[in-house]
Chains A and B, each alone.
Chain A
Amino acid sequence: MSADVAVVGFAQSPVRVRDDATTSGVEMLVPIFAEVFRATGLNRRDIGFWCSGSSDYLAGRAFSFVSAVDAIGAVPPAMESHVEMDAAWALYEAWAKVLTGEAEIALAYGFGKSSGAELRRVLALQLDPYLVAPLWPDSVSVAALQARLGLEAGRWTEKDMAEVAARSRAAARSNPDAQVSGPVTAAELLARPYVAEPLRAHDCAPVGDGAAVVIIASAARARELCERPAWISGFAHQVDSGSLGARDLLAVPSAAGAASAARAGSVELAELHAPFSHQELLLREALGLGEGVAVNPSGGALCGNPMFAAGLARIGLAARAVMSGRVSRALGHATSGPALQQNLVCVLSGEAS
């Protein structure tokens, strides 16, 4: 049943600190809507269901996503929904809508102007509002606790973390949308200062603004829209406890559970949403990715992490690898919440089931 729906189009904006873009997302969305419609031959009247992902706290105002709807156009009124999550979960809602048969073609988009405020402090407000958030443990510090636990448990070294960053930056040289890229060695990175010990700047995703859009279609429409659709063979997500003290921060059961539910075995390529270098190591293990899997050929979130769009972009990039014929089976992953609390896995295949 689940292979009856395929990704047929993807576009993303370059990840940059955008002084010309407001927090409404419209300036970043209009060009990528045009790009994905040009590539698929569709127009907005063909879209049966729209779903977006974004955050009021990132935009600094209530109901911020309503302004982004201006990028869709006013007439005709669209069947539309919104999640206060990364747009990978908007794609999940859209996928369910296509499975019900209520829409044949659906579009998911996400946007985030992460540079509008001090992101790591904004994300502290995701924690328990009574006992934890008043202490302002920012997102980098929480990730640093997780990295420290792994170092002390012998799960990785600072050099392992730097090698993830160096490999990601080298890969990102072929990705014009990346915010950070370039040749650098792990030794060079390790000579740089800490941001929040044991994390250095290269261990943390850069703060950048961006947007992404993915179009999916039912089997009846996918083949006419795309020469080689990326069929969704599995799509699942799970959440772990919201209490940092109640979680084993070195296990990611929600990622493992989502991978199992999405039947994520034997992929050739994986785009992982790991905003911190050590989290790629945790995710590789939780998702059961072996040595032969190409991980983050785009450079991953360490080279560009537009909040609320980066997870959807991972799925879009994995789908693009399938649609171009480079691989026959790929995985896109998204995360949300502090220290990999919530995880989503989408498996894409060149063959319909």
Chain B
Amino acid sequence: MKQPAAVLGVGQTRHRSKRTDVSIAGLCREAADRAVASAGLALADVDAVVVGKAPDLFEGVMMPELYLADALGAVGKPLLRVHTAGSVGGATGIVATSLVQAGLHRRVLALAFEKQSESNAMWALSIAPPFSIPVVAGAGGYFAPHIRAYIRRSGAPPHIGALVAVKDRRNGALNPYAHLQQGDITLEKVLASPMLWDPVRYDETCPSSDGACAVVIGDSDAAAAAPGPVAWPRRCAASRPCSRVRTTSTRPRAGSAWRRCGGRPASPTRWTRSTWPRSTCRSPGTSRCGWRTSASLLPGKAGG
């Protein structure tokens, strides 16, 4: 029988390109301390720890949770290590929530981190394994063909990705923990930035960051004892298709997880000229981004 679970506290570090003042353990402890403090707890009050991190090659440490057990107060407790690729931060929260919902623990610390300055993320993603197509160009080299295929199939206009970057960078400027603080970024600047992996430009990619984030998940008794308001996750789900499927590899996974969470099935997005956004982002802090999509046009009709 599923027990209710709530987020009791949240903590994160500022995300920077290099945190040379701390070790991996120091970075993680910073986020963990802030999370338990915001829940009105100490690390000793935590019953179990879930660490999320992907992939190990980003820091050059195999299964770093083994070395982090002391820094996270996990010695003598259950310690789980989640690795679900790029989704790992969210998956870590889902696993911690499951442990509380299963009735196994009262309070679980979930923590995810990356300290990319310790190694070289481009190298870590550029290995050519046997019997696979060598990409040898980091994550962008892998995703660019998928993005090109999506643009071809959907008829998305060429500046849509850049608009997402403008919107997120301006929103990020409102978040003191965000690595990039670019409140004055414009569509023109993004479109003028160097092309890295056609069609992905420099300003359209994430930075390599050092940072950690932690949440404390608790059961209903722990929530009742919390000093401040708590947030109750209603449903969580994650799913994954096979690595090579005919359509975009993101749609089946998002669609199925969305439906498991009670969402309505979405029709594939098709872009038409009349729905192209006319303006770029509005000023930071407003919720509208000035772009709309039209749903479920027949294949072949899109793109104007």
Closest to B49 in A: A239
The 10 closest A-B pairs by CB, nearest first: A74-B242, A62-B55, A99-B102, A84-B83, A125-B62, A96-B102, A57-B62, A239-B79, A77-B256, A242-B67
Cβ–Cβ contact B63 & A62, under 8 A: no
Please list the residues of chain A having a beta carbon within 8 angstroms of any beta carbon in chain B. Answer: 1, 22-24, 55-57, 59-67, 69-70, 72-85, 89, 92-93, 95-97, 99-102, 122-123, 125-130, 133, 236-243, 246, 253-254, 257, 336-338, 341-342
B84–A81 CB distance below 8 A: yes
Closest to A71 in B: B242
What's the least CB distance linking B239 to chain A, in Å? 5
Q: Which of A62, A242, A257 contacts B124 (CB under 8 A)? A: A62
Cross-chain contact A76 with B256 (CB below 8 angstroms):
yes
The answer for the CA separation of A59 and B83 in the assembled complex, in Å, is 14
Q: Does B243 contact A (CB under 8 A)?
A: yes
Which of B91-99, B183-191, B213-221 sits within the interface? Answer: B91-99
Nearest B residue (CB) for A236:
B78
How many residues does chain B have at the interface if contact means C-beta atoms less than 8 Å apart? 67
Contact B241 A253 (CB under 8 A): no
Could you write out 29 A-B pairs with CB less than 8 Å apart? Answer: A56-B56, A61-B57, A62-B58, A62-B124, A67-B243, A75-B242, A76-B252, A77-B252, A78-B241, A79-B237, A79-B257, A80-B240, A81-B84, A83-B80, A83-B81, A84-B82, A96-B102, A97-B98, A126-B67, A129-B24, A129-B59, A129-B67, A129-B118, A239-B78, A253-B76, A254-B76, A338-B66, A341-B66, A342-B79
> If A70-B243, A240-B69 touch, does A96 touch B83 (CB 8 Å cutoff)?
no
Query: In whole angstroms, what is the CA distance A337 to B69 when docked?
Result: 11
Asked if B234 is an interface residue, CB under 8 A from chain A, the answer is: no
Q: Which chain B residues lie closer than 8 Å to A241 at the CB level?
A: 69-70, 75
- Selected interface stretch from B32-40, B125-133, B160-168: B125-133
B contact face: mostly helix, strand, loop, or mixed: loop
Q: A74-B242, A77-B239, A81-B95 are in contact. Are A336 and B252 (CB under 8 A)?
A: no
Question: A127 to B91, Cβ gap below 8 A?
Answer: no
Chain A contacts for B3, CB-based, 8 A: 100
Q: Are B24 and A82 in contact (CB under 8 A)?
A: no
Interface centre among A55, A79, A242, A338 (most CB of B within 10 A): A242
* A342 lies within 8 A of B66 (CB): yes
